[in-house]
Amino acid sequence: MRLKVKDVKLSTGGPYVAILNTEDAEKLDLNPLDRVRLTTDGRELVVFLDISKKGIKPGQIGLFEEVLKALKLKNNNLINVYHQKKPESIYLIRKKLSGDKLNGKEIEEIVKDVVVNKLSAVDLTYFVSACYTRELDDNEVLALINAMVRYGGSLGIKQKMILDKHCIGGVANNRTTML
């Protein structure tokens, strides 16, 4: 479906979000929190969907600031909207929640999707709950650390040696002596 962009002048601070009118959502068989793929001029982005009866007219799609910036869009631009299936990491989280072990590639897939905002806050909550209730074994912990290092941000410090003396507290009037 091709829709006209409306800047909703809101920011999520993270996840990519779009708003469809109820009529358009029904035509596309979409529900709140479904994922849709937006494409325009060779650029594409997967976003989470909200649905509204008011504020967004049929034929429009409301886009949050993060989406507008990522796709370089402005009010009244046209954009294509397609239903997007859930990422594989959702099924991997479900697998862990069921008590199965995850291998390194599976954990890497989850972390990668976290970094690029493919997972909702609800999805992340399930992953954390799965890791808590179905404890990670040593291999899963190592895979999670490696994936976080690979896909997460890191500091580019140029000095050869960095030392830190840190104390988290303890008994009052206790002191920590440098070695």
The confidence score (pLDDT) of residue 175 equals 62
The DSSP annotation for 44-94 comes to EEEEEEEEESSSS-TTEEEE-HHHHHHHT--TT-EEEEEEEPPPHHHHHHH
Element (H, E) at 5: strand 2-7
What's the CA gap between 68 and 61, in Å, rounded? 11
What does DSSP assign to residue 122?
H
Q: If you count them, how many residues does the chain have?
A: 179
CB atoms within 10 A of CB 47: 26
- The residue among 69, 59, 114 whose CA lies nearest residue 89 is 114
The pLDDT profile of the chain, 179 residues, written as one tens digit per residue, is: 999 999 999 988 878 999 999 999 999 999 999 999 999 999 999 999 999 999 899 999 999 999 999 999 999 999 999 999 999 999 999 999 999 999 999 999 999 999 988 888 899 999 999 999 999 999 999 999 999 999 988 778 888 877 777 666 666 666 665 55
Sign, Cα dihedral of 95, 97, 99, 105: positive
What's the CA gap between 138 and 146, in Å, rounded? 12
The confidence score (pLDDT) of residue 69 equals 94
The full set of domains in the chain, from first to last, is: 2-84 (2.40.40.20), 88-151 (1.20.970.10)
The confidence score (pLDDT) of residue 179 equals 55
